[in-house]
Chains A and B, each alone.
Chain A
């Protein structure tokens, strides 16, 4: 009990500070191991978080559990229908599908010229012309795929659909190729397949948003259907589920429902094509989780190695200090007091080295964050380490530091004072 009380005694700490500060080389060498361990751990864990955040950012342009589905040819004869048939989506299928699959939040039917369907039409403005993919979309599309419009413009709205207006939202690449530098395209006209459209908005292109390019042109769905004579038929829809919905479940349910609706064999995997952002996203999440786990394992292992290093050097230090400890015991230090001093020295060094490691690690992450914040191609944002993990590492360190300190402490008192005094 008496020796435990010593932990809170100012004199004990004075003794420890003295012993630590007057044996500088030993102190520094001892601390480097733990410093390095916690530093690596913080840097790794922070980087893993940064990567995770970076991917999050890169995919922020998309609803994470969204999918696309389009018609292809059937490959299995079913209920009297021959194989090789093209199923067709109709506009009233949208509400029907939504009612049958309550997990669906939004459905955006889409029409294309170019891209998956025929060749991209010629678009002319004045003396400039080029071929661009043209899409016919509903405003709801913007709720599934996040669309950023430059100031002063807008996306397709409900009135555009209702009145079948000839308006177009163009990509920034389209603007570059059809308009002069510095010219404001809003309110100007472009000719798509000899029909004039007024530009109402320019979209900012977001990398990794998965769909289209920077040069797509979007016009109201109804206008598109009328010009290209599509009636109420379409071939592609973009679907997003509510946030809680598992993307793979959504994909399966939508497909099986569509097969029933369109009288397609349940075994026919070729009748519809799909892509699933969610499953893509899931594999990335798994990857980053793996990174976090790896950093945890490597970090803990490094801290472990560092603390063992402290124990090692404390053992050497005890050997080196045999004479000093012998003197202390001849002068009346009890074995408990000697042990407490050695263990506290070990713990204190661990803590100080740990704090420095955490600080330097955090500073490194700060520098990396500044260095990468401008880079769009590099998915790395806000590399932080949760406080719980920092505390966890800290507690681990202190525990290990205490346990490892007990070994040299035990060694120190196992030598009889008389033998310790003989040692020079």
Chain B
């Protein structure tokens, strides 16, 4: 346990000292939340855009940390042989992975501690949110996104991994029902969006927090399927150097 905490501290120090990751995990979600709440240009279909945006941005924050931030960081560690060197210490791979999961959860706690009050300040009134179920959704989503991020990071060279993770982030943001409602997407694209982990998590959070999910039962299944498939894929494809 001690070694896991030693590594967790190192992981958190690295995240805190990395401006790009802070921008990605906190800056962009806060900016999107504030901007699109105050500037009503999105076809949210709700009286107040914040009611649509808040759950979507929480899903976006989860994806930013669990997939992009973890994936880019791990990809560079692999390229720089950091993982290989750590693999020769008593830390071992299971503790290294536990520390990385711990770091993701810690960052998500900070993200939510900032985003939720900001959303309330912007007028979010979720009614009777089921926070416990929302947390379950975030945990499953975290597993799904982390598996996806590590699958990509475990195969591609550092710079290409960076580009792919950022590109995927943009695609999942736009197609994931996070800032643009599923109903506004064309037919085939809408079906794809519902099958994506981003779309599923956004829908699950919108349902648990605002009772406004479009197809919550199916979204839970989709999210669960991604959470099983991507870690299996990552464990099979991941290369440590």
Q: Is A bound to B?
A: no
Mark A residues whose CB is within 8 Å of B.
Answer: none
